[in-house]
Structure formats: structure tokens, C-alpha cells
């Protein structure tokens, strides 16, 4: 699972991830801006936290590096080495060479940015000392199986969920172009122009704009739907995939937790019963932000309905309401300190999600920090609430709406 900051790292693991991937701003393909972000200063703390929680931590150094990046990486190498990640994800040959020189005993994973599409390419990276390859999203399950058959002693990882890029294996120059080089996609700062709405102007008719449409569905002609392969986990396991990966280091704490829990449950069910029908989990995944779901190239050719023509941002089937922070007793009853993400009211029906539970209940009271009853709990406020049914363990608990249309 993605770990965009320390809190998301912890929640991802608590909700079921076996491993997290994380990056520091200077060297990864996602520039983080919110929360207790992971930097060179706290990188060791982040890796140690993952290890203490029983999971692995993979460091992403997968930018395409210029000379200045190589020089900076050399300056930071002792910090990275001291952090002791379980593996490092790379795209760049120069970065790979530095790692083999300074950290020869650390596993190397090859990023999907290298667009690995065939078994000879996998053999090449194996010859270069890599222990795992993250395959391109453009492969079908049958093609993945053939790669694994040809190179059985190489670990293969594939994406099973999350946002997709319009460009081949994410190697996009649109952001660079539209921002005059200020927001470079492959340096971790994409402005996501594939999510914009476009209009067309004909060269000989300047100033006359025509909306670019696909029938009546809008003008987001470059925006792919999100990948979702939860119905095909057993096929991927049978194909020999060693690791499933979810896209989303810029996604919310709620997204990371809910998706981790859903895939954890589905994977466990498939291992218990390979014939299990995991389509029921789609309902859960629709409760988090998405642009609609597609199987992408997994079943063969990319289906014609795999683009989200009328959406620029992912819409969630349910709203994230609050996260639990603490608990106290008042007149013998439990009251929970919460941090509100979207407005709540007494008598609201809500759904509680924890690493251990998923159930519906009602809010029976909202109170300020002094104990006075409120008629509304406003966004970003910290308040106490009373519930009809209490969670068995509130730590890492979250709440969302239920029955939103």
C-alpha cells in the first residue's frame, strides 16, 4: 500500500498491508504536501515504524535523474543506507549504479516507469541485480503468466488498484509542457493535465473554440478510469504474481485504510477458497474516491469504456466523516474524541470502519471539549460523540456516511 506520510503508513499496515512504499520529495514520483510527510530527516523513523508493525518498507528512488539529482543522491546516501529499507524502487540506470556501489546488499525493485512488457526485459533486470520488477499496466494476465513461466525465479509485482495515467507506463510530458517545465511529471510534480477539460480551436479560426466531446459525456478526453482488479485476484495469483500494488500516495487516510482492508479481506478469502466470488467487494471500493473502475489491459485489449469522459476528480460513494482520537467516560458512558472531516449531526446514521470491524450505528450526541451538547459538529473541529454501538477497539477507527446517493 502507498504511504504518503507517517500516519498513512501506520494505518495502511494496521488495515492489512504486508508492505508499504514510501518516498522522499527529492527522489520520488509523488511530491507530498500534507500531514507528517516523510523526509530524509524522518526516513529512518518511517522504516522503523513499518518494521515495528510487522511490515516491509520499500523506498522509491524512481525519478529520472539529472546530474544535479545524482550529486544530491550521493550526498544523501548515508542517510538512506542508515534507514535500512527492505528494498529500493528505481527507474534510472545511474541511480541503480549508485545503489549497487553504496548499498550492494539491499534488494532492488524496478519501477513500472521502465515499462517492462516482456520476459527478456525481466531477464535483463535480473542480470543487473534486481530482485523484483513492477510490471507495466499495459500487460494482460496471460502475458504476465508467460513472463513468470519464462523467469520463475524473479519476483513480479503488478498494480491491482488505483488511478491510471493516460501515457504509456506513466511516462508523460504534458505536465512539463503546460507548466513551462515547472511541474515535471517524472520528477514527482505532475499537475495532472489528463484530468483537465479541453476545448478545440481550429488553426485558421483563432478565437473560435469548440468543446471536445465524446457524445454527450463531456470533454475529459484524456482521463482514464481507475484500475480495479479485485475480481481477478485468483487469476493473478495463478499467473504467478508475487505482490499486488495499490496506487495512491496522494490519497486520503480514509482511502488508504478502506482500500487496504478491502483487498486484505479479498486476498485472504481467495487463499482460503480459490473459487471465491470477490465481486461483492466492488461495493466497498465504490465507497472511496474513484473515477469509475476498469480492468484496463488485464483481460486483453483496453476496453472502450475505460475512460472517464465526464469526471476530472474521483467521486466517493460515501463521505469520510471523522477519525477517532481518544476515549473517556462520562457518567459511566463512553464518549469518543474525534477529528471531523465532514459535518456531522446528532442522530446521523454512520458506518464505522476499523481494522477489526465494519458496522452501522447512530450518533446519539455531539459535545464540545467542555462537555456542552452541540446541534452540529463542524468540519475540522475536535468534538466528543456518543454512539449507539461502540467499536470493540476504537484505535485507528474511521467513520463514513451510509446510504449516500
C-alpha cell at 347: 442522530
Q: Are 256 and 8 in contact (CB under 8 A)?
A: yes
DSSP-based three-state secondary structure for 117: coil
pLDDT digits (tens, 9 = 90+) for 119-165: 999 999 999 999 999 999 999 999 999 999 999 999 999 999 998 87
C-alpha cell at 308: 472517464
87-90 and 107-110 beta bridge pairing: parallel
Higher-confidence residue: 223 or 171?
Answer: 223
32 pLDDT above the threshold of 60 = no
The Cα 191–Cα 176 span in angstroms is 9
C-alpha cell at 154: 524473479
C-alpha 368: how far from its chain's center?
Answer: 34
The Cα 315–Cα 340 span in angstroms is 19
46 pLDDT above the threshold of 90 = yes
310 pLDDT above the threshold of 70 = no
The Cα 351–Cα 31 span in angstroms is 32
132-134 and 107-110 beta bridge pairing: parallel
| pLDDT value of position 205 | 74
Closest CA to 316 of 405, 249, 185: 405
Share of the chain above pLDDT 70, in %: 90
The Cα 126–Cα 130 span in angstroms is 5
Q: Are 96 and 62 in contact (CB under 8 A)?
A: no
99 pLDDT above the threshold of 80 = yes
Closest CA to 369 of 350, 356, 382, 351: 382
In sequence order, the β-bridge partners of residue 132 are 109, 155
Domains of the chain: 6-166+223-294 (3.20.20.70), 167-221 (no CATH), 320-401 (2.40.30.10)
How far are the Cα atoms of 321, 329, 402 from residue 32, in angstroms, in the given order? 23, 38, 30
Categorize the per-residue pLDDT at 28 as very low, low, confident or very high, splitting at 50, 70 and 90.
low
| pLDDT value of position 67 | 96
pLDDT digits (tens, 9 = 90+) for 79-91: 999 999 999 999 9
| pLDDT value of position 33 | 60
| pLDDT value of position 324 | 98
Q: Are 76 and 98 in contact (CB under 8 A)?
A: no
Amino acid at each position: 500500500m502507498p504511504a504518503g506520510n507517517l500516519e498513512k503508513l501506520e494505518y495502511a499496515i494496521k488495515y492489512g498491508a504486508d508492505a508499504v512504499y514510501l518516498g522522499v520529495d527529492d527522489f520520488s514520483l509523488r511530491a507530498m504536501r500534507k500531514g507528517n510527510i516523510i523526509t530524509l530527516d524522518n526516513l529512518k523513523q518511517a522504516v522503523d515504524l513499518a518494521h515495528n508493525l510487522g511490515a516491509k518498507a520499500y523506498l522509491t528512488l524512481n525519478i529520472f535523474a539529472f546530474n544535479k539529482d545524482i550529486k544530491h543522491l550521493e550526498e544523501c546516501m548515508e542517510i538512506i543506507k542508515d534507514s535500512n529499507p527492505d528494498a529500493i524502487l528505481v527507474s534510472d540506470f545511474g541511480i541503480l549504479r549508485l545503489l549497487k556501489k553504496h548499498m550492494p546488499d539491499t534488494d532492488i525493485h524496478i519501477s513500472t516507469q521502465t515499462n517492462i512488457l516482456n520476459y527478456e526485459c525481466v531477464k535483463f533486470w535480473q542480470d543487473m541485480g534486481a530482485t523484483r520488477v513492477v510490471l507495466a499496466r499495459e500487460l494482460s494476465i496471460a502475458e504476465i503468466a508467460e513472463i513468470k513461466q519464462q523467469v520463475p525465479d524473479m519476483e513480479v509485482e503488478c498494480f491491482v488498484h488505483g488511478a491510471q495515467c493516460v501515457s504509456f507506463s506513466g511516462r508523460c510530458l504534458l505536465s512539463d509542457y503546460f507548466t513551462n517545465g515547472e511541474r515535471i511529471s517524472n520528477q514527482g510534480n505532475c499537475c495532472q493535465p489528463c484530468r483537465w477539460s479541453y476545448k478545440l480551436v481550429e488553426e485558421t479560426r483563432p478565437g473560435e473554440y469548440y468543446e471536445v466531446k465524446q457524445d454527450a459525456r463531456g470533454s475529459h478526453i484524456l482521463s482514464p478510469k481507475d484500475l480495479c482488479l479485485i475480481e481477478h485476484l485468483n487469476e493473478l495469483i495463478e499467473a504467478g504474481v508475487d505482490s499486488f500494488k495499490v496506487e495512491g500516495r496522494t490519497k486520503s487516510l480514509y482511502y488508504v485504510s478502506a482500500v487496504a482492508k478491502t483487498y486484505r479481506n479479498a486476498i485472504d478469502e481467495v487463499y482460503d477458497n480459490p473459487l471465491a466470488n470477490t465481486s461483492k467487494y466492488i461495493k466497498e471500493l465504490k465507497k472511496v474516491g474513484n473515477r469509475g473502475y476498469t480492468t484496463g489491459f488485464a483481460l486483453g485489449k483496453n476496453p472502450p469504456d475505460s475512460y472517464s469522459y465526464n469526471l476530472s476528480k474521483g467521486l466517493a460513494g460515501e463521505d469520510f466523516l471523522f477519525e477517532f482520537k481518544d476515549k473517556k467516560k462520562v457518567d459511566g458512558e463512553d464518549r469518543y474524541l474525534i477529528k471531523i472531516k465532514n459535518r456531522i449531526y446528532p442522530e446521523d446514521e454512520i458506518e464505522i470502519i476499523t481494522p477489526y470491524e465494519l458496522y452501522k450505528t447512530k450518533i446519539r450526541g455531539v459535545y464540545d471539549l467542555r462537555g456542552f451538547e452541540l446541534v452540529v459538529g463542524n468540519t475540522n473541529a475536535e468534538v466528543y460523540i456518543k454512539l449507539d454501538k461502540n467499536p470493540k477497539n476504537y484505535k485507528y477507527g474511521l467513520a463514513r456516511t451510509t446510504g449516500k446517493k
